[in-house]
Amino acid sequence: MAESFNAWILSAREKSIITMCDEIMVQLMTKFEEKRELDTQFKIHYLEKKYAVDLTHWTCSCIKLQLNGIPCVHAIAAINHMHLDLPVYCSKYFTVEYFRRAFETPFAPVPDDIELTGIYNRTLLPPKTTHLPDRPKKQ
């Protein structure tokens, strides 16, 4: 392990101590950030149950994320852990833009004076039922 680390910091080893430490720090921070970006699968423990969350594919084993388009509590825990922006993981249909687009087409209200003929003064009867034969009696 030490040999692989030394090979990884080979370019920084020949510099002064402060420059070497700065360069190693930048390399480590870059590596951690790359790892953090790749790590989007989580196992969330909640109320004595385990849930698998995959932020790349927007899935959670509780199925609520796929059904609603809104992150469930397990996905929110994973998103907060990664310090990501929560609205990014909501469906586009919950954005202000889509709300405005839903109501941009004008529509005429339904008038109040619609005449409903044939509906009033009708007697509703229960549906006809058929009596099924009983089980044969035991002899």
Say what the pLDDT of residue 121 is. 66
The 3-class SS string of 73-102 reads HHHHHHHHHCCCCHHHHCCHHHCHHHHHHH
Q: Which of 60, 63, 70 is nearest to 40 (CA)?
A: 60
**How many CB atoms lie under 10 A from the CB of residue 50?**
10
Say what the pLDDT of residue 120 is. 66
Element (H, E) at 102: helix 96-102
Q: Against a cut of 0.75, is the pTM above it?
A: no
Q: Strands across the sheet with 49-54, in order? A: 41-46, 49-54, 59-60
Say what the pLDDT of residue 85 is. 87
Q: Tell me the mean pLDDT per 10 residues along the chain, length 139.
A: 78 82 87 74 86 88 87 89 86 88 84 68 81 81
Q: Which of 64, 115, 58 is nearest to 88 (CA)?
A: 58
* Residue recorded with tokens 């921070």: 29
